[in-house]
Amino acid sequence: MKIQVNTDHNIHGHEATIESIEATVESTLGHLAEHITRVEVHLSDENAKKGGSTDKRCMMEARLEKHQPIAVTEEAATMDAAVDGAAHKLKRLLDHTLSRLSAH
């Protein structure tokens, strides 16, 4: 499973930040790695320096072999919370999708 992290111009993708995001994705979705070819993480700060209660946004897209990509979005007050929330949403959606596909 390849993990690709993309940031907007308001967020600096420091190596430590990217490693932390990759670790979160690995720990949350690792059990599904045999089904996932790539996870793309898109981070953005909607209000930039203006602030706001939920202005950090994380969109995660998982690409499954021979299937359409599956994407989720999470907005939160901190980037860590947005990444964690998106990873857990994606885990639930993938678990559900893969169980449906295996039933057929």
Percentage of residues in the chain with pLDDT exceeding 90? 66
Q: CA-to-CA distance for 99 and 84, rounded, in angstroms?
A: 23
pLDDT of residue 24: 96
pLDDT of residue 104: 64
Q: Given a cut of 80, is residue 70 above it in pLDDT?
A: yes
pLDDT of residue 31: 93
pTM: 0.87
Q: What domains, with CATH codes, occur in the chain?
A: 2-103 (3.30.160.100)
Strands 56-64 and 70-76 come out as antiparallel
Write the pLDDT tens digit of every residue in 4-52. 999 888 777 678 889 999 999 999 999 999 999 999 999 998 776 666 6
Q: How many residues does the chain have?
A: 104
